[in-house]
Amino acid sequence: MSDYGLKIFDSGGSVKLDLPDTITRLRYSVEVAAGANSSIVLSDIDGKSTCQFGIALEAVKTPHLVTRSGTTISWTARAGTGVWPSSSTLVLVFLYD
C-alpha cells in the first residue's frame, strides 16, 4: 500500500476523518469530437483501479460512453432512438494507487 493519506483530528485527539491510502489522481484526459470513436492503451494502469467518464461539452447532448477493458480505455459516441447525439466530450481517467 501507499505511504500517504489524510488524517484529521479534533482538539481532543479523536480522529474525525481518515483517508489512509486511497488518493485519486488524474491519469489521462482528452477532448474528443462529436461522433468520434477511439481508444488508448495505458499500460501503467494494469492491476490498478480507475474511474473513467465523459463530460458533454455542448448543451442538450450526451457525452460519449467511456469504458475500460484491461489497459484499454475506449470512448464511443452515442446516437439512436431516444438518445440525444453525443457532443464533443472531455474524457477523464482517474487512477487509484
What pLDDT, on a 0 to 100 scale, did the predictor assign at position 19?
66
What pLDDT, on a 0 to 100 scale, did the predictor assign at position 3?
57
Q: In this predicted model, what pLDDT tens digit does every residue of 47-56 receive, in sequence order?
A: 998 889 999 9
Domain spans of the chain, in order of start: 22-96
What is residue 46's three-state secondary structure? coil
Work out the average pLDDT over 55-61.
90
Q: Is the pLDDT of residue 9 over 50?
A: yes
Work out the average pLDDT over 36-54.
93
Work out the average pLDDT over 77-88.
83
Cα–Cα distance for residue pair 34/64, rounded to 1 Å: 8
pTM: 0.74
